[in-house]
Structure 1
Amino acid sequence: MKIIEQIVARELDAVIVYESPDVIAFADHEPINVGHLLIAPTRPYQTFIELPDYINEEIQRVAKDLYERIENLYSPDGITFMQNNGAFNDLGHYHLHIFPRFEEDGFSWVSTNLGVQSIETLKKSLVGI
Structure 2
Amino acid sequence: MATVVEQIVNREIDAVIVFESENVIAFADYDPINFGHILICPTFPYESFIELPKPIHDEIQEVARDLYSRIMEKFQPVGMSFIQNNGKCNELDHLHIFPRYDDDQFGWKSSELGIQTIEQLKESLIGL
Note whether the superposition's TM-score is higher than 0.5: yes
**Bin of the TM-score, shorter chain as denominator length:** over 0.9
Report deviation, 1:86.
2.4
Aligned AA for 2:17? I
Instruction: Confirm whether residue 108 of structure 1 aligns to residue 117 of structure 2.
Output: no
For residues 49 and 123 of structure 1, what CA distance do their matches in structure 2 show?
Answer: 25
- Structure 1: gaps spanning 5 or more residues: none
Aligned AA for 1:124? E
Count of aligned positions: 127
Contact 2:86 2:94 in 1 (8 A): no
Report deviation, 1:2.
1.5
1:1-129 equivalence runs, <5 A: 1-89=2-90, 91=91, 93-129=92-128
Report deviation, 1:46.
2.0
For residues 116 and 40 of structure 2, what CA distance do their matches in structure 1 show?
Answer: 33
For residues 114 and 83 of structure 1, what CA distance do their matches in structure 2 show?
Answer: 22
Report deviation, 1:82.
0.7
Provide the TM-score with structure 1 as the length reference. 0.94
SS at match of 1:83: strand
For residues 46 and 6 of structure 1, what CA distance do their matches in structure 2 show?
Answer: 17
For residues 86 and 5 of structure 1, what CA distance do their matches in structure 2 show?
Answer: 17
Report deviation, 1:83.
1.4
Aligned AA for 2:110? S
Contact 2:27 2:38 in 1 (8 A): yes
For residues 68 and 14 of structure 1, what CA distance do their matches in structure 2 show?
Answer: 21
Aligned AA for 2:42? P
Contact 2:22 2:43 in 1 (8 A): yes
* Structure 1 stretches of at least 4 aligned residues deviating more than 2 Å after TM superposition: none
Q: CA RMSD in A?
A: 1.0
SS at match of 2:68: helix
For residues 78 and 96 of structure 1, what CA distance do their matches in structure 2 show?
Answer: 16
